[in-house]
């Protein structure tokens, strides 16, 4: 099997390509937040039921992450990314038959395929970005890449508000099954054109990655004992748990945010307006990531992670105990605290793993299933305690992330490369 060999003269272009990949999968992922209020209204779902959207999307990480790590070790980073982009395009095209059927399970199936592709791209793009330059600047470089991801997550809600949430409607009262099915099919057509356009863009990006596939960082095949060896790395395994908690918290808040802002006790705005306000939440993450790329060159990553996670936990709690504009400001500000968490946890977790990096990336991305589990827990809490008090669920997740950052900062792990 031919190995991907890096080309030093093309390294800046490779970094640029990787940044575009972070934009692509960030854009697709954040659109799920716009689907949640649309599906809730269209199919008359409870919070627990509509959070199955995130459960299905992020559940793909459980199924695909480990095979993705194996795939990268066999065919290299960029070839694996091409496979992921093609799968993403297939999932995006899947919104067309789902819209024709007008059924919630049809959309969940298309989302699962899309997410399977996103998983492969993410498992490959994160370690590739860390490996494409000096180890000392890997946290800064990956944070910068996540900054481009955040550009997408700021633009995505505006796209979703314009093309998905602008015409949000609930089923008519007393509708017959036939009338209800017709209503749902009519509402579902709003998804066809936007997701077809996304699929075409993904195909173009896949073609570019295939053309540049020879520039990928080298990845040695893993040893047979790599998986067992990695399970013994406390910093890696607790880092994976921190990823579970962080992604679960971020996705829970992002998914519920539009409905939260629409409540009379908060802002009482229309769905499209709430969708546009989502860009402030993700825009804060974007600004924080670009700033964090500089800060992480000068400050201990573990300390910065702990401070940001404690800030997010405090803001979520304050929002839960507030109302009106104050509640909205507190919850939107969490985006700024989120900014450096994922890339910092990721680079701390894979520190010193050498040729085991791809397999470790698969394990870490497996933990992104937190984005499937925690939103359902928060949805259940919202149905029984109210959406405001449900914010204590992500607050607890952030406290765990802060504990991990503090342990790394205080030297709670012994580093032995490839131990």
The residue ranges of every structural domain in the chain are 8-409
Residue 234 tokens read as 């406390």
At residue 1, the pLDDT reads 38
Distance between CA atoms of 28 and 144, rounded to whole angstroms? 19
At residue 164, the pLDDT reads 84
pLDDT of 413 above 80: no
Q: Which of 104-108, 173-177, 382-386 has the lowest mean pLDDT?
A: 173-177
The overall average pLDDT reported for the chain is: 84
More confident position, 139 or 362 = 362
Distances (CA, A) of 197 to 121, 322, 328, 376: 19, 40, 32, 30
Distance between CA atoms of 21 and 85, rounded to whole angstroms? 9
At residue 219, the pLDDT reads 53
Q: Of 235, 214, 245, 251, nearest to 360 (Cα)?
A: 235
At residue 11, the pLDDT reads 65
**Which ranges of 263-369 does DSSP label H, i.e. alpha helix?**
271-295, 301-320, 324-338, 341-349, 357-366
pLDDT category of residue 186 using cuts at 50, 70 and 90: confident
More confident position, 228 or 212 = 212
Dihedral sign, Cα of residue 176, residue 179, residue 184, residue 185: positive
pLDDT of 6 above 60: no
Residue 98 tokens read as 């789902």
At residue 297, the pLDDT reads 76
Distance between CA atoms of 406 and 401, rounded to whole angstroms? 9
pLDDT of 131 above 80: no
CATH topology of domain 8-409: Growth Hormone; Chain: A; (1.20.1250)
Average pLDDT rounded to a whole number, residues 171-192: 80
């Amino acid at each position: 099997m031919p190995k991907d060999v890096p080309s030093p003269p093309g390294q800046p272009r490779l970094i640029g390509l990787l940044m575009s990949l972070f934009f692509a999968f960030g854009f697709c992922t954040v659109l799920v937040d716009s689907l949640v209020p649309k599906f809730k209204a269209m199919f008359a779902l409870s919070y627990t039921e509509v959070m199955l959207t995130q459960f299905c999307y992020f559940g793909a990480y459980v199924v695909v992450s480990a095979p993705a790590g194996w795939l990268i070790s066999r065919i290299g980073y960029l070839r694996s990314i091409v496979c992921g982009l093609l799968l993403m395009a297939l999932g995006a095209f899947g919104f067309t038959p789902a819209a024709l059927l007008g059924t919630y399970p049809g959309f969940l199936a298309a989302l699962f395929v899309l997410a399977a592709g996103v998983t492969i791209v993410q498992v490959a793009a994160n370690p590739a970005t860390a490996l494409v330059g000096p180890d000392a600047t890997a946290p800064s470089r990956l944070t910068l890449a996540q900054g481009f991801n955040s550009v997408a997550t700021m633009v995505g809600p505006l796209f979703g508000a314009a093309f998905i949430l602008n015409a949000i409607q609930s089923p008519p009262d007393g509708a017959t099954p036939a009338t209800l099915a017709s209503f749902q099919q009519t509402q579902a057509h709003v998804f066809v054109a936007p997701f077809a356009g996304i699929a075409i863009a993904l195909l173009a990006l896949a073609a570019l990655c295939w053309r540049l596939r020879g520039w990928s960082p080298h990845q040695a095949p893993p040893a047979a004992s790599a998986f067992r060896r990695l399970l013994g790395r406390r910093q890696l395994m607790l880092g994976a748990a921190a990823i579970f908690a962080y992604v679960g918290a971020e996705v829970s808040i992002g998914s519920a945010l539009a409905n939260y802002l629409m409540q009379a006790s908060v802002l009482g705005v229309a769905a499209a307006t709430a969708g546009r306000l989502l860009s402030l939440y993700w825009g804060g993450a974007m600004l924080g990531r670009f700033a964090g790329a500089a800060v992480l060159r000068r400050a201990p990553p573990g300390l910065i992670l702990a401070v940001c996670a404690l800030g997010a936990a405090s803001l979520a709690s304050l929002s839960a105990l507030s109302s009106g504009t104050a509640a909205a400001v507190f919850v939107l500000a969490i985006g700024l605290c989120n900014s450096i968490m994922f890339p910092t946890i990721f680079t701390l977790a894979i520190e010193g793993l050498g040729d085991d990096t791809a397999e470790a990336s698969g394990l870490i991305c497996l933990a992104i299933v937190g984005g499937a589990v925690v939103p359902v827990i928060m949805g259940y809490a919202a149905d029984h305690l109210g959406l405001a008090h449900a914010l204590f669920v992500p607050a607890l997740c952030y406290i765990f992330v802060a504990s991990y950052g503090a342990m790394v900062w205080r030297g709670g792990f012994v580093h032995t490369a490839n131990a």
